[in-house]
Structure 1
Amino acid sequence: MRASYIEDAEQWERGFEFHADVSVRFSETDMYGHLNNTKVFAYFEYARIEYLKDLNHMAKWLDPKGLTIPIVADLQCDFVKQVYFDEKLRIYVKANSMGNSSVDLHYMAKNERNEIVCTGRGAIVQVGRKDGKPVAWTEEEKLVFLKNS
C-alpha cells in the first residue's frame, strides 16, 4: 500500500475496530464483473453513517430541530485489489484526527480472505443547518471520536 495518509501500514490497520459489512451487487459491477470504482464511495458512505450512528452522532443531525449537520469536505480511495460480484466486504472506519469542526476519517475494506482491497480517507465538517458555517465540536464529541479511534 502506498497511500500518502498511511505511515505505518501495520499500526494503521490495527487501529480499526468498527466495521460494516456489504455485499457486491451485480448492478455495481462493470461488463468484466469488477466492482465499478465509483461504488466504493457508496460503501464508504454506508460505513461512515453506521459508524456515526454507533457513536450516537447521527441522532442530533437527523433531528429536524437540530442546529448542525455533517458534510463531506473531501473523499479519496486507493485501490489495492480487484473486487468482483457477490464478494462480501468488511468496511472499517476510524477517526484519524480532529480539527475544530472537522474529523478526518480513514477507511479500510477487506474481503473474505482478510485481504485489504482498498483504503481511503475523507474529512467531514460539522456545519450550521441554517448558515452552512463550521460549528466546533464540543469537548464531549471530540472525546467520543478520539476514544473510538
Structure 2
Amino acid sequence: MSKFSYIDQLQDWEKEFHFFHPVTVRFSETDMFGHLNNTIPFTYFEEARISFFKSVGFMQEWVKPENETIPVVADLQCDYLKQVYFGETLKIFVKANKVGTSSVDLHYMAKRENNEICFVGRGTMVHMSKKTGKGSPWTEEMKQLLLHNR
C-alpha cells in the first residue's frame, strides 16, 4: 500500500478503528465500467460520519432548531486502493484522530467483507456557531466523547 501523509503505520492506524457504518454498493453508484464511481466514497464518508456523531449523541443536538452550533466539513480527501463493484458490502470505519479547540480531524477506512481495505480518507470538521460563523469550542465532555467512542 502507498504511504499517505496522514497514516504513519498502517497496521497500528487500522487497529485504532472501532466504529463502522455498513453500506452496500448500489447499481446507481457504479460507472459504465461497473465499478464504484470515484465520487461515491465521499457520500459513504458522510453517512458514516453522521452515524458516528449520532452514536456519541451530537447529531441529535445539532438538528434541534434552538441549538447554537452546527457541524461543517472544512476539507475532505479520499485515497483509492482497490476497485469496488456493485453489490459489495463495505464497512466504512470512522475515528476521531485529533481533536482541536473547535475542530476534529476524522479518519476513514473502507473494508470489504474479507477485511481488505478498498479506500481510506480523512477530513476536518469544524464545530461552528450559527450566529458568528466561527468555530465554537468543544466542551471537555464533547472532546472525551469524540476520543473514547471511536
Q: TM-score range by the shorter chain?
A: over 0.9
Deviations 1:115-145 (A, max 9, x none): 0000000010011112211100001101111
Amino acid at match of 1:57: F
Q: Which residue of 2 aligns with 1:3?
A: 4
Shift of 1:96: 0.1
For 2:114 and 2:19, locate their aligned partners in 1 and report how far apart those are by CA, in whole Å. Answer: 18
Q: Which moved more, 1:128-137 or 1:32-41?
A: 128-137
Q: 1:126 is paired with a residue of what secondary structure?
A: strand
Matched with 1:55 is: 56
Deviation by residue 1:17-57 (Cα, 9 ceiling, x = unmatched):
00000010011001010100000000000000000000111
CA RMSD of aligned residues (A): 0.7
Report the Cα distance in structure 2 between the residues aligned to 1:147 and 1:20, rounded to whole angstroms. 17
TM-score computed with the length of structure 2 as normaliser? 0.97
Aligned length: 149
**Which consecutive residues of structure 1, in runs of 5 or more, have no partner in the other structure?**
none
**Deviates most, 36-45 or 1-10:** 1-10
| Equivalent in the alignment of 1:66 | 67
Q: Give the alignment's TM-score, normalised by structure 1.
A: 0.98
Name the residue aligned to 2:30: 29
Write out the 4+ residue segments of structure 1 that deviate beyond 6 Å after TM superposition.
none
| SS in structure 2 at match of 1:120 | strand
Amino acid at match of 2:32: M
Partner Cα separation in structure 2 for residue 95 and residue 27 of structure 1: 30
Spell out the pairing of 1:43-122 with structure 2 (5 A cutoff).
43-122=44-123
